[in-house]
Amino acid sequence: MASNKLTDHKYLIFDVYGTLADWETGLYNALLPLLSRFRSSSQWSRTEAIQAFLSVESDIQAQHPSMLYSDLLAKAHEVLEARLSAGEGGSAMDNGATTLEGNPTTSSAAQDQEGESSTLTPQTISSPDAHTAFGNSIKEWAPFPDSSEALHRLSKHFHLIVLSNVDHASFAHTHAYLSEGSTPASSGYDREAPALYRRPSPNTHPIDLWLPRRTPNSNSPFSLILTAQDTGSYKPALTGFLAAFEAIRSEPILLATPGESRDSASATPTIDDIKSKTLCVAQSLTHDHKPAKQLGVRSVWIDRQGAALRPSDADEYGWKWRFETLGDMASAVEKELPDIA
């Protein structure tokens, strides 16, 4: 029988950007210099700007599921600029070509040979460095004010697992902010995040898992971190969720109750056993709650107020619990455990 208590679960699989970090504000602020250069986009609302960017990003994710997220952001910035330029009658400005679909290997000659109209746009205005800088802007995306404290409260009772559409290097800054309670403005980090919060390289784990709480002196609240770079796919593909279940099943530290050692004689659970003990905790209904529902995993909707992208059919995504902040969820957990000091 399905549990009606949060505390009957053992694993929380977290989305990060949108749930723990304010990616909408970070993305929009980084886009503003580009949007301001074109008549159409300079008039866009925040919601319109984010929707336009996501339409490009999702195309590229589908075509290039193994592309590093920072490179994907840079490419999406380049393609969006090409679309805006084409819409305003732009012309070639440099030696690199960009396609509307975001496929870096498409050529006009190949498409013309197939009898189709070319998808090449007027070439980009910005230098490659501008696109790269946008791709590296993830480190400027600030956590929500409640995230760090709430994660540390929850980590006393659950294994917290990151499953995020990001790459290792980009996530390291966010990992540090969430671990230390800092922000991009207060951290003092420059080009690199502290080594404590970067993925170990070389990684000595026998199956190459990133288990940050094993790092000496780390203050990470996460038991396991899986990124798109690890899984070779972007959510809402099911691949990442399945990889998370398999990682839990194969790692004794994750099979143990948080803060305890696992009895080596205990039977290895099935994937269905693990799914029954797992909650997906996320803001994005499309990227997280929909695949969780497909997999039969219960989910918690962190319904961040003020988010630009708010679907009207939220009740259809199968979430069981809803909170407006992660702090509210942590408080609900603690109310189920009245003996907490």
**In sequence order, what are the beta bridge partners of 225?**
162, 210
131, 202: one domain: no
In whole angstroms, what is the distance from residue 200 CA to residue 218 CA? Answer: 12
Give the helix/strand (H/E) hosting 58: helix 46-63
Asked if residue 48 is part of any domain, the answer here is yes
pLDDT (0 to 100) of residue 313: 79
61, 84: one domain: yes
List of long-range contacts for 307-313, beta carbons under 8 Å, 24+ apart: 307/18, 307/24, 307/283, 308/24, 308/46, 308/47, 308/50, 309/24, 309/47, 309/50, 309/51, 309/54, 311/285, 311/286
CATH of the domain at 272: 3.40.50.1000
Question: Helix, strand, or coil here: 88?
Answer: coil
pLDDT by residue, tens only, the chain of 341 residues: 566 899 999 999 999 999 999 999 999 999 999 999 999 999 999 999 999 999 999 999 999 999 999 999 999 999 999 999 998 876 534 434 444 444 333 322 223 333 333 333 334 477 889 999 999 999 999 999 999 999 999 999 999 999 999 999 999 999 999 999 999 988 777 678 899 999 999 999 999 999 999 999 999 999 999 999 999 999 999 999 999 999 999 999 999 988 776 655 478 899 999 999 999 999 999 999 999 999 999 999 999 988 877 777 777 899 999 999 999 999 999 999 976 44
165, 129: one domain: no
Query: Of the candidates 219, 154, 201, which has an alpha carbon nearest to the alpha carbon of residue 210?
Result: 201
Torsion of CA 185, 188, 192, 198, to 10 degrees: -90
Identify the residue whose tokens are 């593909």.
Answer: 237
192, 303: one domain: yes
Alpha-helical regions (H) of 181-289: 228-231, 239-250, 252-255, 271-276
Asked if residue 85 is part of any domain, the answer here is yes
In whole angstroms, what is the distance from residue 257 CA to residue 27 CA? Answer: 37
126, 159: one domain: no
The pLDDT tens digits of the residues spanning 120-171 come to: 333 447 788 999 999 999 999 999 999 999 999 999 999 999 999 999 999 9
Identify the residue whose tokens are 């504000």.
Answer: 25
Number of domains comprising the chain? 2
54, 160: one domain: no
Query: Of the candidates 207, 208, 215, 206, which has an alpha carbon nearest to the alpha carbon of residue 176?
Result: 215
**Chain centre to alpha carbon of residue 217:** 25
45, 149: one domain: no
Single out the residue in 114, 138, 162 at which a domain terminates: 138
In whole angstroms, what is the distance from residue 163 CA to residue 166 CA? Answer: 9
190, 261: one domain: yes
**How do beta strands 321-323 and 11-14 pair?**
unpaired
State both tokens at 257.
């109750």
Cβ-based neighbours of 11, under 8 Å, separated by 6 or more: 158, 159, 161, 248, 254, 274, 277, 278, 279
Asked if residue 341 is part of any domain, the answer here is no
Structural domain of 110: 24-138
pLDDT (0 to 100) of residue 128: 86
Q: Provide the angle, in degrees to the nearest 10, between the axes of the packed helices 69-87 and 128-135.
A: 130
Cβ-based neighbours of 277, under 8 Å, separated by 6 or more: 8, 9, 10, 11
